[in-house]
């Protein structure tokens, strides 16, 4: 059997075939090429070796590889030497006539040629250009070593009327292969002819579309490089390259010495933060002197707190391995719990009973001679503190001094308590972009990077730290050059933010004239006011839970009505979308205890929960009907799996309308959230029962990828741009047709990189954190739907979210 290298399938690109005596050599070369093109859709096939270890070439295997690599735009074959060339020639003879005409055997060097060819093919070059790039693959090395250089030397003067700029290359190793590949990919994505030269050495101008020619420039760290472009998108090309150079050509390593390590976390909340590292400090807790409410109730408080701390620790443990094992064990320590119980039975309240028992255990560890065991006292105190905070509802996120807050993870309460005046940004060792705590950071406009790894916790307090919440980059003790580049980037972002804010209240219309509503997700009237200030066209999601949690009884109809009216008032009569209560196994209500479930995320949540508590749902529907008499209201049900559930819920809505009297309010629209993959695939079956569907990509992603949304160990996997999730979104848009509006209200809607893909699939409403509204509107305005739809088709064929994110963003004005 011919060995094959599986690569992303794509339409309309030149394919590559690697013919070598050694399969290991061919695989390694393809690995290097993949690194250059970061998941772009270039079909690369291997025909190499007799098997994994024996050397040899086989003409039949080569014909199969050529056929597999061919997408209709031609195939370039790279070979090592001797019989590889003979076998490739024979293979060409064996091909069918039409395919043979599309194949070029390339004399270029195998490794360098393959890299240059892959970058050119990824940038959309035609077959002959790809082959020419491969042929000139040795140019960089020849130039470096002072020999004659392959390829055409005459590349023009670079003079002319086109826009130009000079950038300084910040990368530690200069413009080596990877950053050069980024430059080529970007230059090729514009309708422009772009040339560059090394101003430092006075080199000739070379085309920025050629990796092999750029390699001849010898651009080192700190060198100034001139860029000049001509053609319809010349200005955008030059600006894009200036921005790319400012981002150190998207290399994550630190830009220059001396400086500390760089890390790559996950982009979680946009914005650049620079400041001294600040770790959470545990301010002493005040244990209030309140009388106990009786042993049963006090023990219940301990039980609840134990469950919540266990859950938090389990999440941290999933990301950090055994660090938190000792903490988890302490929560089950029979001796400790027996003492807490006997103190409670003797009349103490839960907090002092817990504090006294844990202080005793910590004291015992401290008294031991063995330094390891002595140090366990710190573990006991940490758990004791965490439990007390859970018991008293006091967040731990107390920082002293302003700067970049570093923590393992944050609870929603801690995220809510942060002072944006003090906290320039948040760096989490673990955490996930769709966790509710991180959603809160985004809502509050605090830049954040999550999943940076346990090493982040070791950064000493006061060490200068910089992060970019849009890219996930983190720099520890950055050099002056890197800081200057980051500040420049921050200025660029601020300018773009200002421009977006200036037209935030105008409708967002794509370049080809299709309006896309951009709404806001809110959980309070204050957030609704922020949404209005940031130009939201509507409220696309009210998380009504905020009114139901942390209290001893459910709010009545009047209280709910007043709350939705206050939100509607902030929006000045624009549409609001009320989601019925979305609680359940993972978010239990104190006053309506639910049975403990093995898998709460797969349990009685959302609409499943409220249908089992009809009194609760009936009150909520009545409040909605009352408000809908005066303002346009969309009502939506979360966590829907079957049509039956919707029919049942709609029947209860009819009852609420009858209870209120006066018929169904004219502006009332009814919809469902699509969060369950089965519901996405059955979208057509729901269409007759709904006016709209709003896709909750946070939950849809966790269910589609079987990756719990709050689990930091799976944060990279749970990315809504995974093609599996995109296919579900496509299924919804295709399934419901024109009559039913499709919205997205999960966090993916606020990801600017996702906007062309979602709208390309047919989504016509996006609901995002209030502060993200202006930027998302700008992303819509930059989108050309016809081109975006083509990119979307490619995205659906990609293997994973990383490959989708690496696609050049065609279909947007700022293609990059």
Q: Which is nearer to Mg ion, 132 or 440 (CB)?
A: 440
Cβ count within 10 A of residue 57: 25
Residue 542 binding partner per list Mg ion, ligand PEP, none, with a CB distance cut-off of 5 to 8 Å that depends on partner kind: none
Tell how far CA 169 is from the center of its chain: 28
Give the separation between CA 659 and CA 703, rounded to whole angstroms: 37
Q: Which residues pair with 698 in a beta bridge?
A: none
Give the CA-trace dihedral at 679, 684, 689, 694, to 10 degrees. Answer: 50
Q: Is 351 in the site for ligand PEP (CB under 6 A)?
A: no
Q: Is the peptide bond before 258 cis (omega within 30 degrees of 0)?
A: yes
Interacting span for ligand PEP (CB under 6 A) from 352-360, 443-451, 691-699, 731-739: 691-699
Q: Which of 437, 529, 539 is nearest to 767 (CA)?
A: 539
CB contact set of 469 (below 8 Å; sequence gap of 6+):
267, 268, 269, 270, 271, 272, 273, 425, 447, 448, 449
CB contact set of 739 (below 8 Å; sequence gap of 6+):
687
Q: Which of 141, 261, 139 is nearest to 207 (CA)?
A: 139
Reply yes or no on whether 106 is catalytic. no
Least CB distance from residue 580 to ligand PEP, whole Å? Answer: 12
Contact yes or no for 467/273 (Cβ under 8 A): yes
Reply yes or no on whether 221 is catalytic. no
CA dist 635 to 453, 539, 619, 667, 690, Å?
41, 11, 14, 11, 10
Q: Which is nearer to ligand PEP, 489 or 709 (CB)?
A: 709
Interacting span for ligand PEP (CB under 6 A) from 199-207, 286-294, 481-489, 695-703: 695-703
Q: Is 520 in the site for ligand PEP (CB under 6 A)?
A: no
Cβ count within 10 A of residue 231: 13
Q: Which is nearer to ligand PEP, 388 or 670 (CB)?
A: 670
Give the separation between CA 446 and CA 769, rounded to whole angstroms: 12
Interacting span for ligand PEP (CB under 6 A) from 277-285, 552-560, 628-636, 690-698: 690-698
Least CB distance from residue 753 to ligand PEP, whole Å? Answer: 17
Q: Which is nearer to ligand PEP, 438 or 571 (CB)?
A: 438
Quick one: three-class SS letters along 428-491?
Answer: ECCCCCCCHHHHHHHHCCCCEEECCCHHHHHCCCCCEEEEECCCCEEEECCCHHHHHHHHHHHH
Residue 319 binding partner per list Mg ion, ligand PEP, none, with a CB distance cut-off of 5 to 8 Å that depends on partner kind: none
Q: Is 675 in the site for ligand PEP (CB under 6 A)?
A: yes
Cβ count within 10 A of residue 309: 21
Q: Which is nearer to Mg ion, 475 or 583 (CB)?
A: 583
Residues 230-259 that bind ligand PEP (CB under 6 A): none
Q: Is 711 in the site for ligand PEP (CB under 6 A)?
A: no
Residue 745 binding partner per list ligand PEP, Mg ion, none, with a CB distance cut-off of 5 to 8 Å that depends on partner kind: ligand PEP
Q: Which of residues 233, 697, 741, 787 is near ligand PEP by CB under 6 A?
A: 697
Q: Could you give the count of Cα atoms lying within 13 Å of 311 in the half-sphere of its Cβ? A: 16
Output the six-digit token pair for 77: 């074959």
Residue 697 binding partner per list ligand PEP, Mg ion, none, with a CB distance cut-off of 5 to 8 Å that depends on partner kind: ligand PEP
Using the 8-state DSSP alphabet, how is residue 783 labeled? B
Provide the binding-site residues for Mg ion, judged by CB under 5 A. 675, 696, 699
Interacting span for ligand PEP (CB under 6 A) from 298-306, 404-412, 693-701, 804-812: 693-701
Q: Which is nearer to Mg ion, 112 or 699 (CB)?
A: 699
Residue 746 binding partner per list ligand PEP, Mg ion, none, with a CB distance cut-off of 5 to 8 Å that depends on partner kind: ligand PEP
Q: Which is nearer to ligand PEP, 248 or 541 (CB)?
A: 541
Give the separation between CA 324 and CA 249, rounded to whole angstroms: 38
Q: Is 696 in the site for ligand PEP (CB under 6 A)?
A: yes
Least CB distance from residue 543 to ligand PEP, whole Å? Answer: 5
Least CB distance from residue 766 to ligand PEP, whole Å? Answer: 12
Least CB distance from residue 727 to ligand PEP, whole Å? Answer: 17
Least CB distance from residue 549 to ligand PEP, whole Å? Answer: 12
Q: Which is nearer to Mg ion, 130 or 439 (CB)?
A: 439
Contact yes or no for 515/762 (Cβ under 8 A): no
Among the listed residues 327, 436, 534, 733, the single catalytic one is: 436
Q: Is 155 in the site for ligand PEP (CB under 6 A)?
A: no
Q: Which is nearer to ligand PEP, 351 or 585 (CB)?
A: 585
Question: E-strand spans in 675-810?
Answer: 692-695, 741-744, 765-768
Instruction: Calculate Rg over the CA atoms of the chain.
Output: 30
Residue 543 binding partner per list Mg ion, ligand PEP, none, with a CB distance cut-off of 5 to 8 Å that depends on partner kind: ligand PEP
Give the separation between CA 258 and CA 256, rounded to whole angstroms: 6
Least CB distance from residue 767 to Mg ion, whole Å? Answer: 12
Contact yes or no for 535/770 (Cβ under 8 A): no
Binding mask 725-764 for ligand PEP (x = CB under 6 A): --------------------xx------------------
Q: Which residues are catalytic?
A: 436, 745
Which residues contribute to the site for ligand PEP (CB under 6 A)?
541, 543, 582, 675, 696-699, 745-746
């Amino acid at each position: 059997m011919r060995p094959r290298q599986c690569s992303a399938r794509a339409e309309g690109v030149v394919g590559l075939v690697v013919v070598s005596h050694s399969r290991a050599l061919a695989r390694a070369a393809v690995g290097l090429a993949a690194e250059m093109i970061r998941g772009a859709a270039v079909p690369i096939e291997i025909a190499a070796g007799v098997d994994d270890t024996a050397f040899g070439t086989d003409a039949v295997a080569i014909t199969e590889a050529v056929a597999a690599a061919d997408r209709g735009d031609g195939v370039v074959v790279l070979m090592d030497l001797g019989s590889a060339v003979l076998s490739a020639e024979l293979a060409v003879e064996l091909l069918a006539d039409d395919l043979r005409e599309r194949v070029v055997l390339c004399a270029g060097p195998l490794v360098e040629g393959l890299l240059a060819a892959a970058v050119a093919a990824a940038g959309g070059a035609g077959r002959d250009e790809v082959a020419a790039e491969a042929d000139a693959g040795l140019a960089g090395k020849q130039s470096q070593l002072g020999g004659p250089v392959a390829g055409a030397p005459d590349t023009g003067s670079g003079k002319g009327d086109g826009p130009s700029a000079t950038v300084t290359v910040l990368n530690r190793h200069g413009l080596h292969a990877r950053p050069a590949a980024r430059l080529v990919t970007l230059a090729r994505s514009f309708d422009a002819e772009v040339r560059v030269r090394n101003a430092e050495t006075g080199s000739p101008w070379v085309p920025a579309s050629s990796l092999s020619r750029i390699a001849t420039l010898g651009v080192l760290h700190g060198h100034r490089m001139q860029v000049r472009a001509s053609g319809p998108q010349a200005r955008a090309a030059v600006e894009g390259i200036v921005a790319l150079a400012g981002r150190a050509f998207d290399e994550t390593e630190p830009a220059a010495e001396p400086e500390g390590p760089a890390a790559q976390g996950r982009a979680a909340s946009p914005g650049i933060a620079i400041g001294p590292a600040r770790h959470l400090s545990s301010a002493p807790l005040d244990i209030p002197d309140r009388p106990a409410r009786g042993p049963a109730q006090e023990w219940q408080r301990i039980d609840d707190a134990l469950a919540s701390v266990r859950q938090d620790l389990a999440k941290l443990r999933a990301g950090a391995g055994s660090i938190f094992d000792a903490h988890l064990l302490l929560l089950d320590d029979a001796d400790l719990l027996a003492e807490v119980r006997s103190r409670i039975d003797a009349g103490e309240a839960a907090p002092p009973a817990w504090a006294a028992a844990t202080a005793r255990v910590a004291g015992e560890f401290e008294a031991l001679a063995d330094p390891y065991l002595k140090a366990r006292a710190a573990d006991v105190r940490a758990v004791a503190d965490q439990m007390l905070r859970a018991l008293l509802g006091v967040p731990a996120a107390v920082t002293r001094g302003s700067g970049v807050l570093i923590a393992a993870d944050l609870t929603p309460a801690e995220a809510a308590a942060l002072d944006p005046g003090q906290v320039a940004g948040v760096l989490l060792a673990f955490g996930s972009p769709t966790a509710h705590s991180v959603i809160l950071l985004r809502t509050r406009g605090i830049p954040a990077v999550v999943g940076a790894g346990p090493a982040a916790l070791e950064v000493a307090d006061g060490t200068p730290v910089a992060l970019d919440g849009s890219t996930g980059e983190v720099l520890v003790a950055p050099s002056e050059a890197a800081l200057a580049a980051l500040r420049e980037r921050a200025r660029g972002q601020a300018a773009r933010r200002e421009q977006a804010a200036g037209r935030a209240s105008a409708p967002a219309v794509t370049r080809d004239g299709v309006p896309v509503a951009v709404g806001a997700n809110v959980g309070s009237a204050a957030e609704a006011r922020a949404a209005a200030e940031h130009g939201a066209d509507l409220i696309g999601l009210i998380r009504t839970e905020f009114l139901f949690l942390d209290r001893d009884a459910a709010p009545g109809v009047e209280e709910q009505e007043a709350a939705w009216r206050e939100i509607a008032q902030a929006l000045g009569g624009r549409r609001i979308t009320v989601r019925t209560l979305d609680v359940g196994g993972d978010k239990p209500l104190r006053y309506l205890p639910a049975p403990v479930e093995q898998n709460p995320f797969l349990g009685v949540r959302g609409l499943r929960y409220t249908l089992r508590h009809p009194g609760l749902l009936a009150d909520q529907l009545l409040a909605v009907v009352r408000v809908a008499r005066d303002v346009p209201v969309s009502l939506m049900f979360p966590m829907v799996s079957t049509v039956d559930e919707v029919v049942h819920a709609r029947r209860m809505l009819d009852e609420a309308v009858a209870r209120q009297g006066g018929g169904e309010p004219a502006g009332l629209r009814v919809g469902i959230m699509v969060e369950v993959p089965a519901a996405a695939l059955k979208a057509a079956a729901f269409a007759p029962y709904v006016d709209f569907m709003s896709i909750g990509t946070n939950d849809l992603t966790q269910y589609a990828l079987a990756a719990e949304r709050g689990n930091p160990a799976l944060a990279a996997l749970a990315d809504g741009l995974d093609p599996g999730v995109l296919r579900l979104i496509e299924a919804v848009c295709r399934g419901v047709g024109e009559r039913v509006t499709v919205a997205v209200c999960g966090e993916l809607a606020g990801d600017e990189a996702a906007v062309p893909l979602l709208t390309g699939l047919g989504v016509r409403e996006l609901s995002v954190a209030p502060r993200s509204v202006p930027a998302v509107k700008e992303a819509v305005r930059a989108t050309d739907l016809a081109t975006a739809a083509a990119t979307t088709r490619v995205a659906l064929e990609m293997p994973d979210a990383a490959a989708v994110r690496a696609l050049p963003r065609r279909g947007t004005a700022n293609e990059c």
